[in-house]
Amino acid sequence: MNSSILCSLMLTLCLITTLHFCLPTEAKAHNRHRRLGGNPDLIDQICQQTFQDKVNCMNLLRADPATKQAKNLLEFSKAVLELALKKGIQGQNFLKGLAQKNNDPAIRECANSDYDGVVRSFKSALAELKVDPETSSYDAKVASDGSNNCAKAITNAHIVNPAISSLNYQISLLSKIASLASDK
């Protein structure tokens, strides 16, 4: 084997090994700062954890004054859950109005059964936030079941409605964000 290829291979292995051992330390430090609110920009901290949804997460949270003004993780988590609850209620009202106009069973299912679950889960998460953050995080995560079920019902009924699709995406994203924020 050519000595330059061997040297390149050894150098690559050394770099991979070094990076492998460095990454967990950085992840632990990041989680510690997140729990303690060590980073002054809580929105950026949480949105970093949403990966491919980061830009949408940042846009959604930066548009809300309460999330921007939060001084610590508890205030931030409460603001995110309140935003999620507000958007869930608005979404349910939108779907109920649409169901009255269209009288479609899939839209009625979304408006009533599915989004009842969304609103109930966000309310529960908000109530549990100070008492039991782990349960709050779980309840926030479960809220996306309603938006996901609604998306399936709409797809199965062959309904193409960008407003409903956008609503379901936003609620699922808020569910993910709220779950991350309340999981201290």
Domains of the chain with bracketed CATH: 37-182 (1.20.140.40)
Angle at 90 between CA 89 and CA 92, to 5 degrees: 65
The count of other CB atoms within 10 Å of the CB of residue 8 is 11
92, 111 in Cβ contact below 8 A?
Answer: yes
76, 101 in Cβ contact below 8 A?
Answer: no
State residue 87's pLDDT score: 98
Task: Give the mean pLDDT of 16-33.
Answer: 40
Range with lowest mean pLDDT among 9-18, 28-37, 75-84, 102-111: 28-37
Tokens representing 171 are: 């609620």
Q: Please write the tens of the pLDDT for every residue from 87-120.
A: 999 999 999 999 999 989 999 999 999 999 999 9
